[in-house]
């Protein structure tokens, strides 16, 4: 039987994204073992169990969409802004794939 912590984690992992403009990113993150930790129409964040300091964030403001990505082996984030969903999604997808591929390569070298 699952503990309360496991049930809560399963509920978070299986949560549908509220802002459907980023549904393809949601699928990409979840397919790679990441889960949504902030799920609002104007604020979305993803992290991975065991890598909670690595966070990918989207904040939708009046005129801009701000995207924040983790900087490898650092406590800092890189943040940039876009004027439309497509550019923000494309950028975040590329940075996420770079990030997870870098982790795979580093783990392979060990």
User: Is pLDDT above 90 for 46?
Assistant: yes
> Which residues make Cβ contacts (< 8 Å) with residue 13, sequence separation at least 6?
30, 35
User: Is pLDDT above 50 for 25?
Assistant: yes
Tell me the pTM: 0.82
Q: According to the model, what pLDDT value does residue 1 have? A: 44
pLDDT, mean of residues 54-82? 95
**Residue 10, both tokens:** 């399963």
Three-class secondary structure of residue 19 per DSSP: coil
pLDDT, mean of residues 10-26? 81
């Amino acid at each position: 039987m699952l503990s309360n912590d496991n049930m809560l984690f399963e509920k978070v992992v299986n949560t549908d994204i509220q802002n459907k403009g980023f549904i393809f990113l949601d699928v990409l993150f979840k397919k790679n073992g990441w889960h949504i930790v902030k799920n609002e129409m104007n604020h979305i964040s993803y992290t991975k169990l065991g890598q909670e300091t690595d966070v990918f964030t989207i904040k939708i403001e009046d005129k801009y969409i701000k995207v924040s990505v983790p900087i490898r082996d650092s406590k800092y984030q890189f943040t940039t802004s876009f004027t439309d969903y497509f550019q923000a999604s494309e950028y975040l997808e590329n940075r996420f794939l770079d990030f997870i591929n870098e982790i795979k390569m580093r783990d392979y070298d060990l």
